[in-house]
Chains A and B, each alone.
Chain A
Amino acid sequence: MDLKLATIDLGLIAPEIIIAAVAMLILLLGNVVRRRTILAYFGLFGLVAALLTALPRWGNPASGFYGMVQADNFAIFFKIIFIIAAGLTILMARRYLISHEIESPEFYALLLFSAVGMMVMAATSDLVVIFLGLEIMSVPLYVMAAFARHDVSSNEAGIKYFIMGAFASGILIYGIALVYGATGTTDLRRILADWGFFEMHSQLFLYSGAILVLIGFGFKVAAVPFHMWVPDVYQGAPTPVTAFFSVAPKAAGFAALLRIFTYGFADMSQLWAILWILAVLTMTVGNILAIFQDNIKRMLAYSSIAHAGYILVALTAGGDGAVSSAAYYLLAYTFFNLGAFAVITLIDTRNSSTAQIDEMQGLSGRHPFLAAVLALFMFALAGFPPTAGFMGKFYIFSEAIKNGYIGLAIIGVMNSFVSVYYYLRVVVVSFFARPNKEFEAVSYTPAIFIVLVITAAGTLILGILPGYWLSLARAGIFQFL
């Protein structure tokens, strides 16, 4: 029997292998090494090593494993986002986990495995591999949401996230099944190549399949009307986990969505109307509901829904420019949203904390630096210049206008104005509100200080000198082989 085995090019998946291996080692060493710090920094080391193996691939895209792996610039760009998000989360999580008595080596291992799933999702053009990557990403996240096992609201967050996530996976796989039935393949490159040869009944299956895939990812990236789980999960999960939730799975979901909808299903013109409605709903509902929140984690949950809406604008606009603007925005968003959550994590390290916005009263008097960076991140989220938030929104909306979606761009800009209100409220409370009682001091650790400096620097550098980063994002569009 002649079985032609796959040509195995491990170099293509080296970052994934390194991170997975480090995660397994952390699990193994967890019982031997008593000092958890070493494990956390070992995880960071793995992420850095993965980054170093991923970077040399920039500019020479390759494909392997029968096309199941696409190591192009787009994949590398998103891998960098995931590595940054995972690394910063490890740095900021440790303090919180210790103070809540839930630290264990498994936390770091699960975080790294989740990052592996995201990398797989971003670096493939096959729907089945995207689905598997999504599961490898999600399963650790379900556990991490419920990681504070004795805290009932964390339990609730875990079970809600699990039920909604598994439900979304079910819808997604049924959609993939219909696409497979219509086209006979799950490879996006072949779907694009064979476009127009599909028969009428195939078209029906293809469209319903595409819509189901969109719904499945809609749950994952928190698009309205599939967002009901978001505020609960964000509020209930341990704060550093929420920080990770708000950036990395969203970036991974959009990486997959961008591949699928601006590449594989690029000729599916009728879908753009649906995407248009989805983008408008997501922005508007997210921003309006955020106004009424008193809990800062819940407020940032609605804000993350609104930001998903802005990126959906880029997805709707389509084309290379819009893809790179979405990639740029996701990178910028990783910095300033993680930064905002780092501040909240630090404040939330006190066990008395309830994470209400009013709790920020007196922050500027007690911790001027903390209040200043929090203000910077809020300005970035609201989209003020000279932060990265402004440049990101500017690029997305100008791409939308360039592609003729002027109405969408106007709605987006109006939404940004609405969002200024609730972001500034946090700044006003932390700087100007007369505190009822003295702000209870929090103690920095060097790790969290580093996180704050990195995220603040990222927010400013991407905002003041966007040219270089945007050219990276421009070079980071798909190069399918």
Chain B
Amino acid sequence: MVPMPYYLIVGAVLFVIGIAGVILSRNLIIMFMSIELMLNAANLTIITFSRFLNLMDGHVFVFLIMAVAAAEAAVGLAIIIMLFRNRETIDADKFNLLKW
């Protein structure tokens, strides 16, 4: 049996990697994927707690979060496509027309 906190630690580490990716990366697509990683860290945490509490509710949450991730992916990628058409770059530092 794997002790419960191990899973939580993996989840927390993945979450932090996701945050670091958003803050440090300069490529919009990688920033966006880091956000996906954060959502999945949350998913792992929820599933762990769900098993620990012996409640199935968490599985439903993960299901709903996947729908949210899909919606965000669709809109976010569409915005990125539009941006690329107008600017030919997805380097976050190039978007400096407005003060960041």
Contacts and interface: CB of A to CB of B under 8 A. Distances in A.
Chain A in direct contact with chain B (Cβ < 8 angstroms): yes
Contacts of A162: 75-76, 79
A170 interface: yes
Interface in A121-167: 128, 131-132, 135, 139, 142-143, 146, 149-150, 152-153, 155-160, 162-163, 166-167
A207 interface: no
A128 B64 contact: yes
Contacts of B58: 180
A174 B45 contact: yes
Given A156-B98, A171-B38, A174-B42, A181 B49 contact: yes
| Size band of the interface chain A makes with B | 35 or more
Nearest to A208: B12
Q: Is the interface of A mostly helix, strand, loop or mixed?
A: helix
A232 B52 CA distance: 44
A186 B8 CA distance: 18
B100 interface: yes
Nearest to B8: A181
Nearest to A132: B64
A64 B100 CA distance: 44
B58 to A, nearest CB: 7
A169 B100 contact: no
A160 B22 CA distance: 12
Given A128-B64, A159-B28, A174-B38, A166 B45 contact: no
Interface string B60-100: 01001100100110011001101100110000000101111
Contact of A155 (B39, B53, B61, B86): B86
A143 B22 contact: no
Interface in A9-29: none
Contacts of B65: 173
Given A167-B38, A173-B39, 18 more contacts: A139-B72, A142-B76, A142-B79, A150-B86, A156-B97, A156-B98, A159-B83, A160-B95, A166-B72, A167-B19, A169-B39, A170-B42, A177-B46, A177-B49, A180-B49, A181-B8, A231-B98, A232-B100
Interface of A: 128, 131-132, 135, 139, 142-143, 146, 149-150, 152-153, 155-160, 162-163, 166-167, 169-171, 173-174, 176-178, 180-181, 184-186, 228, 231-232, 235-236
Q: Which 5 A-B pairs have the closest CB atoms?
A: A170-B38, A181-B49, A232-B98, A177-B45, A174-B42
24 contacts: A131-B68, A135-B71, A135-B72, A142-B79, A143-B75, A146-B82, A150-B86, A152-B86, A156-B95, A158-B79, A158-B82, A159-B83, A160-B95, A169-B72, A173-B39, A174-B15, A177-B43, A177-B49, A180-B58, A181-B45, A181-B46, A181-B48, A184-B53, A232-B99
